[in-house]
């Protein structure tokens, strides 16, 4: 898995999102850059996180409402790949799901400063790969609607 070597000191809206790639459930390599052209919601989660479980239904609703106009990339902070796979299948997680592999110290989690933020943690990118908003899912819904409605 490739990631940029150093995370920015603090991610904020307007910055280009740190690039990363990872393997999806089928072992296919997915890069963040390959998703440009539509907004992307990055969802950091873990199968052992109760708030992450509660966020599954709203995440699926957003995925259904914004199908074709929003990409969702889930990044699992699980250390056990089987726990990751079971959670994705059992909860019917939408979008692309990536196993970061190192828990809180995984390369993508470190790149995005997730340990300082806690999970679930969401980063919304515009169609050009710039950070539009960071925060809780409920706080991002208006931003998602605005970006997903923008003509491409």
Q: What is the mean pLDDT of residues 107-132?
A: 93
Which residues, 6 or more positions from 101, have their beta carbon under 8 angstroms from its beta carbon? 1, 79, 81, 107
Query: Does residue 7 belong to any structural domain of this protein?
Result: no
Query: Does residue 81 belong to any structural domain of this protein?
Result: yes
Report field, pTM of the whole predicted structure over 0.85: yes
Instruction: Check whether 2 has a pLDDT greater than 60.
Output: no
- Which domain, by its residues, includes 114? 38-149
Q: Is 114 left (phi over 0), alpha (psi -120 to 50) or beta?
A: alpha
Evaluate whether 80 touches 99 at the Cβ level (below 8 Å): no
Query: Does residue 43 belong to any structural domain of this protein?
Result: yes
Query: Does residue 83 belong to any structural domain of this protein?
Result: yes
CATH code, 108 = 3.40.30.10
Query: Does residue 57 belong to any structural domain of this protein?
Result: yes
Query: Does residue 110 belong to any structural domain of this protein?
Result: yes
Q: How far apart are the first and last CA of the chain?
A: 30
- Domain count of the chain? 1
* Average confidence score pLDDT of the chain: 90
Confidence band for 80, pLDDT divided at 50, 70 and 90: very high
Query: Does residue 4 belong to any structural domain of this protein?
Result: no
Query: Does residue 119 belong to any structural domain of this protein?
Result: yes
C-alpha distances in Å from residue 132, one per residue of 6, 51, 52, 90: 21, 23, 22, 30
Evaluate whether 98 touches 73 at the Cβ level (below 8 Å): yes
């Amino acid at each position: 898995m490739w990631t940029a070597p150093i995370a920015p000191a603090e991610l904020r809206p307007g910055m280009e999102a740190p690039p990363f790639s990872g393997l999806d459930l089928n072992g296919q390599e997915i890069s963040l850059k390959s998703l440009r052209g539509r907004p992307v919601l990055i969802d950091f989660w873990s199968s052992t996180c109760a708030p992450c479980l509660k966020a599954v239904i709203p995440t699926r609703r957003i995925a259904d409402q914004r199908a074709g106009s929003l990409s969702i990339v889930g990044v699992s902070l699980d250390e056990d790949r089987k726990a990751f796979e079971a959670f994705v299948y059992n909860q019917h997680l939408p979008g692309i799901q990536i196993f970061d592999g190192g828990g809180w110290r995984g390369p993508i989690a470190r790149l995005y400063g997730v340990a300082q933020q806690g999970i679930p943690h969401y980063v919304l990118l515009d169609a050009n790969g710039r950070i539009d908003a960071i925060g809780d899912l409920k706080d991002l819904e208006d931003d998602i609607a605005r970006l997903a409605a923008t003509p491409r």
